[in-house]
């Protein structure tokens, strides 16, 4: 791993906000999902939650520009399950919703543990999400349209959360568990070795303060050995004289 990449990954880990997240409530267009994921990564969201209509829904690397490698997506069967889990983690749940009860999105205190709920492209957030939410927010608009694309709305709310948190010094202090950071540093800093570990069933080694692998001699020996399931090369047949 180069010193530059090691420093970049560590900077990202130092700024992750495990108590700030997004819940996608039936958002189903892959370009919108990918755009929200990119915005979430940009402001330091550690993981994203989603209630998806199709079990096969996923984000491709082409649309998310690699953000899916850094922000884990947790899928829930229902919005009730998702919000119940988020509240159990101490999160306030804020839904974007066009209603008389909605506040200006800038009036919410995002320095608190917060989950931002974004709704379906056509129908918005579900009635159940609104019922379970702690607050509803709206983005004030003075044009003829009444709503923004879901990914644009999500970006505005996320960057307001980032602004508030940065102003109170919530960035730059690592909050993630060390074992998670070690795992990510190894997988993203030494991807070839990480792939070999998974293939051979080896435990990930530690990463030192310079980004290099710390492993005993037997680990390196097993790394050099051929994979147990790899086919052996055929021996050449003897020619008859």
Distance CA 35, CA 42 (A): 11
Q: 104 and 213: one domain?
A: no
Q: 139 and 205: one domain?
A: no
The pLDDT tens digits of the residues spanning 133-166 come to 999 999 998 887 778 899 999 999 999 999 999 9
Q: 65 and 101: one domain?
A: yes
Q: 30 and 123: one domain?
A: yes
Question: C-alpha distances in angstroms, 107 versus 16, 68, 116?
Answer: 23, 30, 14
**How much is the pLDDT for 223?**
93
Does residue 92 register a pLDDT over 50?
Answer: yes
Annotated binding site for S-adenosyl-L-methionine: 96, 139, 148
Q: Is residue 238 part of a domain?
A: no
Annotated binding site: 96, 139, 148
Q: 22 and 102: one domain?
A: yes
Q: Is residue 22 part of a domain?
A: yes
- Which of 123, 152, 167 terminates a domain? The answer is 167
Which structural domain range is residue 1 located in? Answer: 1-16+174-228
pLDDT average, residue stretch 109-113: 98
Q: Are 146 and 52 in contact (CB under 8 A)?
A: no
Q: 156 and 187: one domain?
A: no
Number of domains in the chain: 2
**How much is the pLDDT for 232?**
54
Q: Is residue 45 part of a domain?
A: yes
Q: Is residue 121 part of a domain?
A: yes
Q: 155 and 182: one domain?
A: no
The pLDDT tens digits of the residues spanning 11-70 come to 999 999 999 999 999 998 999 999 999 999 999 999 999 997 665 555 544 444 456 678
Q: Is residue 234 part of a domain?
A: no
- Which of 141, 167, 193 terminates a domain? The answer is 167
Beta-ladder partners of 116: 22, 94
pTM: 0.85
Q: 91 and 114: one domain?
A: yes
CATH number of the domain within which 39 lies: 3.40.1280.10
Beta-ladder partners of 2: none
Q: Are 44 and 13 in contact (CB under 8 A)?
A: no
**In this structure, how many other beta carbons lie within 10 angstroms of the beta carbon of residue 141?**
11
């Amino acid at each position: 791993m180069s010193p530059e990449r090691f420093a970049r990954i560590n900077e990202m880990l130092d700024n992750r906000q495990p108590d700030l997240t997004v819940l996608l409530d039936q958002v189903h267009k892959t370009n919108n999902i990918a755009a929200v994921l990119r915005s979430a990564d940009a402001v330091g969201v550690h993981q994203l939650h989603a209630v998806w209509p199709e079990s096969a829904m996923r984000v491709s690397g082409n649309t998310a520009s690699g953000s899916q490698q850094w922000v884990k997506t947790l899928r829930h069967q229902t919005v009730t399950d998702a919000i119940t889990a988020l509240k159990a983690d101490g999160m306030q749940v804020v839904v974007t919703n066009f209603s008389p009860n909605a506040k200006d999105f800038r009036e919410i205190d995002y320095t608190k543990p917060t989950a931002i709920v974004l709704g379906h492209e056509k129908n918005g957030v579900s009635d159940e999400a609104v019922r379970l939410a702690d607050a509803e927010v709206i983005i004030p608009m003075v044009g003829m349209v009444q709503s923004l694309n879901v990914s644009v709305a999500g970006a505005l709310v996320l960057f307001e959360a980032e602004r508030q948190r940065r102003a109170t010094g919530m960035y730059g202090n690592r909050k993630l568990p060390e074992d998670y950071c070690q795992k990510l540093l190894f997988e993203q800093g030494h991807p070839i070795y990480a792939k070999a570990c998974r293939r051979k069933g080896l435990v990930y080694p530690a990463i030192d303060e310079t980004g290099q692998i710390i492993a005993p001699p037997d680990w390196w020996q097993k790394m050099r050995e051929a994979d147990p399931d790899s086919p052996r090369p055929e021996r050449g047949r003897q020619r008859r004289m």
